[in-house]
Amino acid sequence: MKKILLVIENSSYGGGERSFAVLAGGMSSRGAEVHVACSPAEPFSGEISGHSVLHPAPMDSLADPGAVSRLLAVIRSVGPDIVHSQGARADFYAALACRLAGVEHVSTVAMPVEGFDVGFVRRSVYRFFGALGERFTSRFITVSRDLKKRLVAGHGIAPEKITVIPNCAGGEFFAVRPRDGALAAELGLSGAMVIGAAGRLVWQKGFGVLLESFASLCRTGRHGRTLKLLIIGDGDLRGELRAKARGLGIGDRVVWAGFRADMARVMRLCDVFAMPSLREGQPITLIEAMALGLPAAVSDLPGVRETGSDGKDFLLSPPGDAAALKENLARIVNDIPLAESLGAAGRLRASGSFTEEIFISAHCEFYGLGPGPAAVERLK
């Protein structure tokens, strides 16, 4: 039985935590002995507790020598065949601990440090320590071909050391279930046409742009039902974004759902999905919306273009362009055949390329646990 130690800095909960939770459960179901070193914080620790061994190992700072010793102790007690980390701090500490323990270290890079939404000084610190950790990392996984090119060109990593494994949507997003009328009433969405968006309330997700687009849509559109905007997620910009919505005159039309563990259930309340991100690797929320069959208006980013096709699976607009995003939302809202076509094509694309089965099989092949389908794409 292969032993795998996953290491993640789960100080917040987002796409990286969701994908590692899927990975832990999937590898356990395939017969691997899975251990996870992370903070005991919920909800991530709760998601993995039923099938993986949790080792408390907080990594709250990039200047914590104790984090290396804690991980080294975990590695020596577990005796893993491979250590697989995700996140800047987890990557750095795991790389050093693995070097000391003589164990192979693998890193998933969903967003290089130069894309972090932090100041210049902090980004420089991350870049310095990240480069140091990369020297001790034997192999890398990334979620898109574009990110692979950036790691090769900007980080000097040999292309043969990088494997592309796209993100996935959980099985609950593919399940055909009715909308939850009681939940719609609870959130004040009954009878409304709902444009939904999901993600952490931080700068790179572009929610300020979405609020401007939605306000314009409400002013200029003539729609059969009242339009409402449902934003699922929480973060540092919560207060600022709520104030912006009030200033735009749409305070009563925006529903702030906060963090939700039942994402699929909440997203089923949406008629349209919007993703206004300014930076992304490969957005899991977009894949989840596609799996649900939601027509989507999204930012034109490299990782998005690898997820589907403009005009077929979703409609693209330049990042940060509120007017262009508004026009795409208006097209979907006012053209039922177009909305149905986009939703059906997106769901078909997700079911053929971005399922848990494909994601887990790709990692099985990567770990050397046996052949999987043609799910691992090694780009030379």
pLDDT in tens, 23-35: 999 999 988 999 9
Cα separation of 149 and 317, whole Å? 23
Do 181 and 76 belong together in one domain?
A: no
Which comes out higher in pLDDT, residue 133 or 322? 322
Q: Are residues 48 and 71 in the same domain?
A: yes
The pLDDT of residue 124 is 67
User: 1-10, 40-49, 165-174: which has the highest mean pLDDT?
Assistant: 165-174
Output the CA–CA distances (angstroms, integers) from residue 326 to 183, 195, 219, in the order listed: 27, 11, 11
Q: Rounded to an integer, what distance in angstroms lies between the CA atom of residue 173 and that of residue 356?
A: 11
3 state DSSP class of 179: coil
In a domain, residue 380? The reply is no
Quote the CA–CA distance of 44 and 11 in Å, as a whole number. Answer: 10
pLDDT at 113: 64
- Asked whether residue 376 is domain-assigned, the answer is no
On the question of pLDDT at 375 being above 50, the answer is: no
Query: Do residues 148 and 192 both lie within one domain?
Result: no
Specify the higher pLDDT residue, 120 or 351: 351
Q: Are residues 139 and 279 in the same domain?
A: no
Paired residues of 274 in beta bridges:
297
Q: Which DSSP category does 159 fall into?
A: G
Low-confidence winner among 38-42, 220-224, 358-362 (lowest mean pLDDT): 220-224
Name the DSSP class of 173: H
Whether residue 379 lies inside any domain: the answer is: no
Query: Would you tell me the crossing angle of helices 336-353 and 322-334 to the nearest 10 degrees?
Result: 100
Q: Quick one: pLDDT band at residue 112, thresholds 50, 70, 90?
A: low
The verdict on 361 and 287 lying in the same domain is: no
pLDDT band, very low/low/confident/very high, at 371 (cuts 50, 70, 90): low
CA–CA separation, 354 vs 151, rounded Å? 23
Q: Is the pLDDT of residue 374 over 60?
A: no
Is residue 294 domain-resident?
yes
Q: Are strands 105-109 and 193-198 parallel, antiparallel or unpaired?
A: unpaired
81 has pLDDT over 50: yes
The answer to whether residue 339 is domain-embedded is: yes
How many domains does the chain contain in total? 2
Domain membership of residue 104 (yes or no) is: yes
Lowest mean pLDDT among 117-126, 141-150, 159-168, 269-278: 117-126
Helix (H) or strand (E) holding 121: helix 120-134
Shared-domain flag, residues 281 and 164: no
Structure tokens, 128 = 């310095």
CA 21 to chain CA centroid, nearest Å: 12
* Residue 331 CB coordination number (10 Å): 15
How far apart (Å, rounded) are the C-alpha atoms in residues 6 and 35?
Answer: 6
CATH number for 250: 3.40.50.2000
Q: Judge contact between 298 and 315, C-beta under 8 A.
A: yes
Task: State the average pLDDT over residues 187-214.
Answer: 96
* pLDDT at site 373: 44
For the chain, give the mean pLDDT. 90
Per-residue pLDDT tens over the stretch 144-188: 999 999 999 989 999 999 999 999 999 999 999 999 999 999 999
Residues 93 and 164 in one domain: yes
Determine contact, residues 87/16, Cβ cutoff 8 Å.
yes
Burial readout 46-79 (b: 16 or more C-beta within 10 A, e: otherwise): ebbeeebbbbebbbeebeeeebbebbbebbeebe
Q: Are 15 and 42 in contact (CB under 8 A)?
A: no
pLDDT score of 47: 87
pLDDT tens-digit readout, 326-341? 999 999 999 999 999 9
Tell me how long the chain is.
380
Q: Is the pLDDT of residue 379 over 60?
A: no
**Contacts of residue 288, Cβ cutoff 8 Å, sequence gap at least 6:** 169, 170, 173, 198, 263, 264, 267
User: Are residues 223 and 150 part of one domain?
Assistant: no
Give the whole-angstrom CA distance, residue 132 versus residue 168. Answer: 30
Task: Check residues 332 and 119 and name the one with the higher pLDDT.
Answer: 332
Are residues 108 and 16 part of one domain?
yes
Residue-wise pLDDT for 206-257, tens only, equals 999 999 999 999 998 666 679 999 999 999 999 999 999 999 999 999 999 9
108, β-bridge pairs: 86, 141
* Average pLDDT, integer, range 288-311: 97
Range of the domain at 21: 3-168+355-367
Whether 377 shows a pLDDT value over 50: the answer reads: no
Residues 114 and 255 in one domain: no
Which residue did the predictor score with more confidence, 14 or 158? 158
What's the pLDDT at 49? Answer: 84
Give the residue-averaged pLDDT of 185-199. 96
pLDDT of residue 40: 84
Is residue 378 one of the residues assigned to a domain?
no
| In a domain? residue 377 | no
Query: Is 378's pLDDT higher than 60?
Result: no
| Residue among 375, 353, 351, 354 nearest 364 (CA) | 375
The pLDDT of residue 121: 64
Q: Are residues 242 and 117 in the same domain?
A: no
Examine the domain organization and report whether 124 and 138 are in the same domain. yes
Q: Give the residue from 226, 222, 228, 314 showing the smallest Cα distance to 277.
A: 314
347: which residues sit within 8 A by CB, 6+ positions away?
A: 174, 290, 291, 292, 293
pLDDT on residue 263:
94
d(CA 27, CA 212): 43
CA distances from 52 to 308, 353, 360 (A): 33, 26, 15
Split at pLDDT 50, 70, 90, the class of 16 is: confident
